[in-house]
Amino acid sequence: MYDAIRPILFKLDPETAHNVTFSLARSAQAAPGVLSLLRSNYQIDTPKLSTTLFGLEFANPVGVAAGFDKNGHALGLLAALGFGFIEVGSVTNLPRTGNQKPRLFRLEPDQGLINRMGLNNEGPEAAKHNIAKLRRKALASNRKPMIVAVNIAKTHDPQILGDKGIQDMLDCYKKMAASGDFVVLNVSCPNTAEGKTFEDPEGITPLLEAVTAERKANNPHQPLLVKFSPDSTPFNLEKTIEVCERFDISGYVMVNTSNDRSGLQTNGGTIEKIGKGGLSGKPIHQRAVERVRFAHKLLGGSKPIIGLGGVDSAESAYEFIRAGASLVELYTGLVYQGPRLCREILTGLAGLLERDGFSTLTEAVGTEHH
């Protein structure tokens, strides 16, 4: 089905194509019988791929990365497609329209995307409403609600910096924490006027002081994760993780999009014309796996890592898992391959575990280090 409509979507501007897809998804969610039809076509039972992390039972390790469904409008449909969890966001304390268009670009020869969306989102109230609606519907039909993570970032506004930036993220955390099964602090979004936000030991310390104090007071058992960039040097990453460990961060999401353009197949003139933005998809896969490997070794496997960056097959997901990721996420792969991708990855992963003699997914995590 997606193979038939993809050429039409790819004739459209990427953001228009995304919006058209979302309009269709929202209509499909509301139509009687569509979600149960999708469930029967796309969901598969893979007990050996289930895993328990942060006290949460994940039916499988494949999730949708933040940025795909910023406001939670397509949660019902994404759940029906068989994903193990969904990361909504980035949500910011104040709603934002984002950067000027065009701001999303396909790199077809590379199976990549460049985006400089600028953290456009409808704000906390919209996201909270949509997540609550998903849970109500699941409970009404006696189904286990999908695990939903909330990704929060600083509001895209060059006036909101320093202490104001910390207060802004803290306010967003206060509004959103109760809605997420776990929360991800996006400290590394490259698509804002001022560039990176808190991704260094000095920047992240006061932010974590504020957020973890609030967490201790009101959400002491809620998992709190930090999302890092692939562009951070190993030294900077190590020092920043050391700070996170002092604040008992529950796990790490690796990686965000990249500003690096090395090794691309797409014509250099095209890349230059596109300009700034975060690169995602296949071109950043190896760097992302390296970051997961590095963090897993550094932490001695003591904290779960969610790996993302070019997950577009069972093999690429398995590479993350063997390097030390307990879960994986995808976004760009969905754009290029469509809704069947999750099922294909799960089927393939089950086969890879069997081939290598693992009876559960958990047994395979970090095994390339052994």
pLDDT tens for 70-122 read 999 999 999 999 999 999 999 999 999 999 999 999 999 999 999 999 999 99
Q: Is 189 a catalytic residue?
A: yes
19 has pLDDT over 60? yes
Structurally, the chain folds into a number of domains equal to: 1
Percent of the chain whose predicted confidence (pLDDT) is above 70 = 97
- At a CB cut-off of 8 Å and minimum separation 6, what does 314 contact? 344, 345, 346, 347, 348, 349, 351, 352
Q: Which range, of 8-17, 196-205, 299-308, averages the lowest pLDDT?
A: 196-205
pLDDT tens for 233-256 read 999 999 999 999 999 999 999 999
Beta bridge partners of 87: 149
Instruction: Please report the pLDDT score of residue 3 as a whole number.
Output: 82
**Packing angle, helices 201-218 and 162-176, rounded to 10:** 30
Structure tokens that stand for 154 in this block: 């600083």
Q: What's the pLDDT band for 143 if we cut at 50, 70, 90?
A: confident
pLDDT tens for 311-370 read 999 999 999 999 999 999 999 999 999 999 999 999 999 999 999 999 999 999 999 866
The pLDDT mean for the chain works out to 95
Instruction: Please report the pLDDT score of residue 2 as a whole number.
Output: 80
Element counts in the chain: helices (H) and strands (E): 14, 13
Task: Classify burial at 158, counting beta carbons within 10 Å of its beta carbon; exposed 0-12, middle 13-18, buried 19 or more.
Answer: exposed
196 has pLDDT over 70? no
- At a CB cut-off of 8 Å and minimum separation 6, what does 17 contact? 9, 10
Alpha-carbon span 283 to 263, nearest angstrom: 8
* DSSP 8-state code for residue 339: T
* Top-confidence residue, 140 or 1: 140
Overall pTM > 0.75? yes
Task: For residue 258, give the CATH number of its domain.
Answer: 3.20.20.70
Alpha-carbon span 61 to 318, nearest angstrom: 10
Structure tokens that stand for 206 in this block: 């006061």
Q: Which range, of 23-37, 103-117, 279-293, 315-329, averages the lowest pLDDT?
A: 23-37
* Range(s) of the domain holding residue 21: 2-369
